[in-house]
């Protein structure tokens, strides 16, 4: 058995067919665990009881916003309310918690997209995060529908569109793979017609050059390394049961699927884990 101990980060991915997954660790730990070859094999994952802040590294009893201690959660720009609700960005008001971080991450080109995760959804991401964002959400199809010049404007477009299409993923349905393929280009044509007034008003208010709508784009199809999809989805909780010893049956989004349970790796960012896998 090979054993690696470290503070978890979200899984690193490579967009191949199927997606290649790697368990990655913080603290300069160069070791990664490639997961695809481990399908059908038993993994042992043990939470040591220690959680460290993703930003400052301090030991914390509880993780906030997927990996932060409470003081950092309260003070960092990357944990502000506008991360979950980009239309609430207050950078222009001069009240950003960290303007330099805002310039690098929010005042950059963003993509509004349609994806097929647990069904049709609209979402946003930085242009540099395509297709990583889609993979992390477990999308089986995705397509950019608009390009904008900053995160807040992407939020405005998404808010206008979610009157007609969901912006949420039903994670249990996504993991069961209860979703059929669809023609995203056709869905976008229909959505444009429904949201014509909203999109026109946004272009008028913010400048037509700041929002580029894509009439047609090539769809990205994504496949995942899965032997068996679960018929019932139950999440393992390392805070209550520190040890998981089970057979890996699949990987999708940021979830590991086992014979009896699933694990959301993002939830346990900065948890110190001891992971044992077959050589």
pLDDT, position 137: 97
Q: How far out from the chain centre does Cα 179 lie?
A: 18
Q: What is the mean pLDDT of the chain?
A: 95
Query: Who's near 204: CB < 8 A, 6+ residues apart?
Result: none
Whether residue 242 lies inside any domain: the answer is: yes
pLDDT in tens, 190-242: 999 999 999 999 999 999 899 999 987 789 999 999 999 998 999 999 999 99
Mark whether 236 and 260 lie in a shared domain. Answer: yes
Q: Residue 123 domain-assigned?
A: yes
pLDDT of 30: 73
pLDDT in tens, 141-158: 999 999 999 999 999 999
Is 196 inside a domain boundary?
yes
With respect to residue 90, please indicate whether it lies within any of the assigned structural domains. no
Copy the structure tokens of residue 124. 């946003």
Tally helices (H) and strands (E) across the chain.
8, 14
Q: Which among 204, 221, 238 is the end of a domain? A: 221
How much is the pLDDT for 215? 82
**Residues 217, 151 share a domain:** yes
Q: What is the pLDDT of residue 28?
A: 64
The four Cα atoms 90, 95, 98, 99 give a dihedral, to 10 degrees, of: 70
In the block, tokens 């404007």 appear at 153
Residues 264 and 247 in one domain: yes
- 199 and 230 both lie in a single domain: no
Residue with tokens 């991450």: 105
The answer as to whether 200 is a domain residue is yes
Q: Are residues 53 and 8 in the same domain?
A: yes
Q: How high is the pLDDT of residue 260?
A: 87
Does the residue 77 lie in any domain? no
| Residue 279 pLDDT | 84
Same domain, 21 and 117: no
Structural domain for 159, as ranges:
109-221
Please provide the DSSP assignment of 51-66 as one string: EB-TTT--B-SS-BTT
Per the CB < 8 A criterion, the answer to whether 36 and 52 are in contact is no
Is 93 domain-assigned? Answer: no
pLDDT of residue 152: 97
Please give the order of strands across the beta sheet that includes 33-34: 12-14, 20-23, 33-34
Instruction: Mark whether 121 and 206 lie in a shared domain.
Output: yes
**DSSP code of residue 226:** B
Instruction: Answer yes or no: do 48 and 62 share one domain.
Output: yes
229 close to 257: Cβ distance less than 8 angstroms: yes
Q: Are residue 192 and residue 253 in the same domain, yes or no?
A: no
Q: Does 246 share its domain with 269?
A: yes
Domain count, the chain: 2
In this structure, are 143 and 205 located in the same domain?
yes
**What is the mean pLDDT for each group of 10 consecutive residues in the chain (279 residues)?**
93 97 84 95 97 95 94 97 95 95 96 97 96 98 96 97 96 95 95 95 93 88 96 95 98 96 96 94
92 is a domain residue: no
Mark which of 173, 201, 221 sits at the end of a domain: 221
Same domain, yes or no, for 124 and 181?
yes
Residues in the chain: 279
């Amino acid at each position: 058995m090979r054993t690696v101990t470290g503070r978890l980060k979200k899984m690193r991915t490579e967009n191949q067919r199927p997606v290649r997954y790697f368990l990655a660790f913080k603290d300069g730990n160069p070791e990664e665990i490639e997961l695809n070859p481990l399908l059908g094999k038993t993994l042992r994952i043990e939470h040591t009881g220690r959680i460290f802040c993703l930003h400052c590294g301090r030991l914390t009893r509880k993780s906030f916003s997927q990996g932060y201690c409470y003081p950092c959660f309260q003070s960092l720009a990357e944990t502000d309310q506008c991360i979950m609700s980009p239309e609430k960005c207050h950078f222009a008001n001069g009240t950003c918690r960290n303007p330099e971080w805002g310039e690098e991450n929010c005042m950059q080109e963003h993509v509004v997209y349609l994806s097929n995760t647990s069904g049709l959804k609209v979402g946003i991401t930085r242009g540099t995060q395509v297709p990583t964002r889609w993979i992390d959400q477990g999308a089986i199809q995705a397509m950019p529908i608009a390009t904008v010049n900053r995160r807040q404007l992407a939020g405005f477009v998404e808010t206008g569109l979610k009157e007609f299409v969901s912006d949420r993923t039903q994670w249990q349905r996504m993991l069961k793979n209860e979703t059929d393929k669809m023609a995203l280009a056709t869905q976008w044509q229909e959505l444009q017609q429904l949201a014509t007034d909203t999109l026109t008003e946004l272009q008028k208010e913010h400048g037509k050059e700041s929002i580029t709508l894509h009439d047609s784009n090539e769809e990205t199809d994504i496949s995942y390394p899965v032997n068996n999809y679960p018929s019932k989805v139950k999440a393992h909780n390392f805070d209550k049961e520190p040890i998981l010893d089970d057979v890996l049956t699949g990987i999708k989004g940021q979830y590991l699927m086992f014979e009896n349970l699933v694990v959301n790796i993002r939830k346990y960012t900065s948890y110190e884990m001891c992971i044992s896998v077959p050589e």
